[in-house]
Chains A and B, each alone.
Chain A
């Protein structure tokens, strides 16, 4: 489905702050997988997502989507096939537009944005049912500005918007990190439902160890631009939170990185 092959990435090249993050980094994600990625700060989790989405360029190696190389493809062109939910809830919605308007533009992804009427009236009931699914009471607030919603509500809306037109790949960039624990649980639960229901191949970066263990089909731990743990299937079922913590602490102590 998506593959990074021998990718190199260096920040601040040629300066005193030069930092080599990826040196021949490779990862392959199969169709239908729901991958959870954990790792310390600066381990390259978010950079990996940026490289896939096209918001960061690679210095070497290949980025493949569905078997075709997409190295030179612009981010907005990749977005036709890739959906993304960001850490900041404000990033996934337009605050000066209503919930209904937000859903309408998200629903039009991949089709021309011409001079026809912007609000999608035919699908109003469908949008209602999607919002009802959230259990946040948003189904009766279609005319409320997205900017007036709480962080959890906005992130839930952003998730629906990112998957309304089913993407081939969904990137979740610490999308629960900016929410309070209760809202984070709701959004995570909802993510799991949507991903399973629509069968979307997903790559989720998270700071929450529990989410990385409980949700998804494969868990990856990254450290300083390398994959230090990659478990799926039976092996994953046999690994529990304490095992992850042990590895995590070992790395941290070894490298002087603190939790």
Chain B
């Protein structure tokens, strides 16, 4: 019971952790409250679902979902940069449009993958049958999450990544470097939503189901993980922020699981998520204030 609960927390933690890294790019690096996430997560599920049910390669399905997420994210960026729509509204527009798009891709509101469909977990399940299949499944998820983390870490250290990091911090600097900050914003939103859709695709193969409404609350979950990751784990200097964000999601999922096990009714979870979210925000605010006060004292 405890064992399966812990495995469940880790599985979901790492899957949603990939999504949270995307939210980290938009919320922390770009300073862009991107709500498209609620639409791009199910977009990843939808793209992956259709490809798997057409017996296509499950790894290719992950890649395709990532690409679809990138395109959706680019739309959010273009709404903001080229059409000059307020950033919060851009995400809402993309999210709303994606509800119809996702429905259209699958053709119905909810569906399950057939028993014979091949997923990324099929091969390891064949090699490790029975009880060990639980662990092999978790291992595959962890490998994908860690690979995404290292890919993102690597990107942040490239020249292009340097520009992405500076655009949220100081748009004027990017202009003086003779680069168009708008283009960089679009690229950032694109990568972020690519990661979110990738997480959706892994979740699709993990849960073997599609539900058009499954994106609701994704962004709040992602934000909670980012805030836990950047405040609670900030003190550990040796650790990269992306690692903190992954761990943040695991902590978050653990909290929810424990609360459910302790008797919280599942219909009350959204309320609890909101409370947890506000608490972390207040703690975050507290830390930021303290930090700023410290800087002033030094200067």
Q: Which A residues are within 8 Å of any B CB, using their own CB? A: 55, 74-77, 79-80, 83-84, 86, 90-97, 101, 104-106, 108-110, 112-119, 148, 150-151, 162
Residue of A whose beta carbon sits closest to that of B182: A76
Does B163 touch A at the CB level, under 8 Å?
yes
**Bound form: Cα–Cα A112–B180 in Å:** 12
- Are B176 and A84 in touch, CB under 8 angstroms? yes
- Are A90 and B170 in touch, CB under 8 angstroms? yes
A-B contact pairs, 6 of them (CB 8 A): A76-B175, A91-B173, A108-B177, A114-B159, A117-B158, A117-B159
C-beta contact mask, B161-182 vs A, less than 8 Å → 1, else 0? 1110110011011111111110
Does B160 touch A at the CB level, under 8 Å?
yes
Residue of A whose beta carbon sits closest to that of B299: A150
- Are A76 and B179 in touch, CB under 8 angstroms? yes
- Are A118 and B176 in touch, CB under 8 angstroms? no
Q: In the assembled complex, how far is the CB of residue A57 from the closest CB belonging to chain B, in whole angstroms?
A: 15
**Bound form: Cα–Cα A119–B166 in Å:** 14
What's the interface size class on B, roughly?
20 to 34
Q: Which 4 pairs across A and B sit closest by C-beta, in order of nearness?
A: A94-B166, A79-B178, A113-B159, A118-B162
- Are A118 and B169 in touch, CB under 8 angstroms? no
Could you say which of B161, B162, B163 has the most chain A C-beta atoms within 10 Å of its C-beta? B162
Does B157 touch A at the CB level, under 8 Å?
yes
B residues less than 8 Å from A150 (CB atoms): 299
Q: For residues 124 through 165 of chain B, which have their beta carbon under 8 Å from a beta carbon of chain A? A: 155, 157-163, 165
Q: When the two chains form the complex, which single residue of A74, A94, A116, A117 contacts B180, counting CB atoms closer than 8 Å?
A: A74
Could you say which of B157, B163, B170, B180 has the most chain A C-beta atoms within 10 Å of its C-beta? B170
B residues less than 8 Å from A92 (CB atoms): 173, 176
SS class of chain B's interface: helix, strand, loop or mixed?
A: helix
Q: In the assembled complex, how far is the CB of residue B167 from the closest CB belonging to chain A, in whole angstroms?
A: 9
**Bound form: Cα–Cα A139–B226 in Å:** 34
Q: When the two chains form the complex, which single residue of B159, B165, B176, B178 contacts A97, counting CB atoms closer than 8 Å?
A: B165
A residues less than 8 Å from B172 (CB atoms): 86, 91
**Bound form: Cα–Cα A202–B158 in Å:** 32
Indicate whether A97 sits within 8 Å of B180 (C-beta atoms), given known contacts A91-B172, A118-B159: no
Q: In the assembled complex, how far is the CB of residue B176 from the closest CB belonging to chain A, in whole angstroms?
A: 5
Indicate whether A79 sits within 8 Å of B176 (C-beta atoms), given known contacts A94-B165, A94-B166, A95-B170: yes
Q: In the assembled complex, how far is the CB of residue A27 from the closest CB belonging to chain B, in whole angstroms?
A: 22
A residues less than 8 Å from B160 (CB atoms): 113-115
- Are B162 and A91 in touch, CB under 8 angstroms? no
A residues less than 8 Å from B165 (CB atoms): 94, 96-97
A residues less than 8 Å from B155 (CB atoms): 115
Indicate whether A117 sits within 8 Å of B157 (C-beta atoms), given known contacts A94-B165, A97-B162, A150-B299: yes
Residue of B whose beta carbon sits closest to that of A120: B159
Task: List 14 extra interface pairs beyond A92-B176, A106-B177, A150-B299, CB under 8 A.
Answer: A55-B175, A75-B175, A80-B178, A94-B166, A94-B170, A97-B165, A97-B169, A109-B177, A113-B160, A113-B162, A114-B158, A114-B160, A117-B157, A118-B157
**Bound form: Cα–Cα A67–B260 in Å:** 72
- Are B180 and A76 in touch, CB under 8 angstroms? yes
Q: When the two chains form the complex, which single residue of B157, B169, B175 contacts A119, counting CB atoms closer than 8 Å?
A: B157
**Bound form: Cα–Cα A115–B163 in Å:** 11
**Bound form: Cα–Cα A83–B178 in Å:** 9
- Are A105 and B177 in touch, CB under 8 angstroms? yes
B residues less than 8 Å from A90 (CB atoms): 170
B residues less than 8 Å from A79 (CB atoms): 175-178
Q: In the assembled complex, how far is the CB of residue A131 from the closest CB belonging to chain B, in whole angstroms?
A: 18
B residues less than 8 Å from A96 (CB atoms): 165, 169
Residue of B whose beta carbon sits closest to that of A149: B299
Indicate whether A97 sits within 8 Å of B175 (C-beta atoms), given known contacts A76-B180, A108-B159, A116-B159: no
Q: In the assembled complex, how far is the CB of residue B186 from the closest CB belonging to chain A, in whole angstroms?
A: 14
**Bound form: Cα–Cα A90–B295 in Å:** 14
Q: In the assembled complex, how far is the CB of residue A213 from the closest CB belonging to chain B, in whole angstroms?
A: 28
- Are A116 and B158 in touch, CB under 8 angstroms? yes
Residue of B whose beta carbon sits closest to that of A82: B176
Residue of A whose beta carbon sits closest to that of B162: A118
- Are B158 and A76 in touch, CB under 8 angstroms? no
